[in-house]
Structure 1
Amino acid sequence: MKLPRDLSGLELAKLLEAFGYNIDHQTGSHLRLTTERNGEHHITIPAHNPLKVGTLSAILRDVADHMGLSRDELLTELFQK
């Protein structure tokens, strides 16, 4: 599945709430999200609009690895609703 090209950091943070991620705190233009699902996990998302494709890809790969999903399974969960 192709990654969206117009997704902001805040929009991604909202989408990741479905996987238990919540904004822990913000420093400057970066959001730190934390989840307790499958053990504690932290990710940092720049609050940029739009996110660069490489940055988005790296964040989604990290989340997919933590959740035990393939990247395509994660993309389907996030964007096919």
Structure 2
Amino acid sequence: MKSSDLIKELKAAGCEPARNSGGSHWIWWSPNTGKTFPVPHPKKDLPISTVRSIRRLAGI
């Protein structure tokens, strides 16, 4: 899965970017869980375990 596809899922679930430090990860915030979490971007192929972990933190 590409990071851009995961970001589309996060936006559809109501998650918002909290900050962009200018590095290789963006920090996102989930209103469902109230947690912040890093999302690698840009990255073409994310490991499925990373995608699952981000989805769990986002509450989707």
TM-score, L = length of structure 1: 0.57
Structure 1 residues 17-60: Cα deviation after superposition (integer angstroms, max 9, x where no partner): 1221112222311011113x346321111111111111112112
Instruction: Decide which of 16, 19, 22 is 1:25's aligned counterpart.
Output: 19
Mapped contact 1:13–1:22 kept (Cα < 8 A): no
**Aligned residue type for 1:50:** D
CA 1:58 to 1:14, structure 2 compared with 1: closer, same or farther past 3 Å? same
Aligned to 2:35: 41
Counterpart in 2 of 1:78? none
**For the Cα contact (< 8 Å) 1:9–1:49, is it kept in 2?**
yes
- Structure number with higher helix proportion: 1
2:11 is equivalent to residue 14 of structure 1: no
- State the distance in 2 between where 1:38 and 1:15 align: 14
In the alignment, which of 61, 66, 72 is matched to residue 56 of structure 2? 61
